Structure 1
Amino acid sequence: MIRRLLSALSGLLTADNFPRDWYGETTSQTGHAAAVGMPAALVLHGAGLPPALVPPAVALIYLGFWERLIQRGADLRDSLTDTAHVAAGATIITAALCWGYWPTVGTLAVWAAMLAAGIWRRL
């Protein structure tokens, strides 16, 4: 069981830009937003960081530490795309907590367009 867990976790270190796989791209980027960006924003917001600084801080921390130091993927475009989706997730939750309905809806619309562009590129 430990071996299976370690094997699954080692897959996190393998960068993948999902060429010709729109479903993989969509699930990956949704995961970046929901499983990384939103919780990180909640942590930074709870730590007292001003709301306007939360999404950029989440994006910079993710890009600097995960994408560049730990994962070290060779495809910079993939790293920036992943970071944009992490930032979108952070912005969605920050908008919902601090800025109200329309900023949240607007952020969701921008994120939906980002997901659509990723799908379009892989069709």
Structure 2
Amino acid sequence: MTNLAKLFALALLVLSQTSIANAQQSGTEPTDLVCDIGPTTKAFGGSQWLVYSCSDRRTVVVMSVPGNAAAPFYFVLHPSETGYRLGGEGTGNQELTAAAFNELQALSATDIETLIQETRRR
């Protein structure tokens, strides 16, 4: 299994745990979250990233492009009661991942909706 495949599997695990935690907070049953819509390629923090959207039509996974100095790394933008939360994990270049984090954190809900629409055009 490649590092990118391992990272993607880890992202899916984090997303499933987030889905379970959100369901527990709201008192609903957790649902499986599948994040395989896309990808579209975007630049964040001066490097290239693959953007996937998820089956809930609200969650986004941003993964470093293979060969990118930020690789391996992924971010997850997921809805919360106050907007969107951003998390990430990996061992890529910290300067590049921090720059991407700052840019992703500045996205508005409308920007995130636009990203989701772009992934669905693929």
Q: TM-score range by the shorter chain?
A: 0.3 to 0.5
> So what's the TM-score if we normalise by structure 2?
0.33
Higher relative contact order (CA 8 A, sep 6+): 1
- The structure carrying a bigger strand percent of its residues is 2
> So what's the TM-score if we normalise by structure 1?
0.33
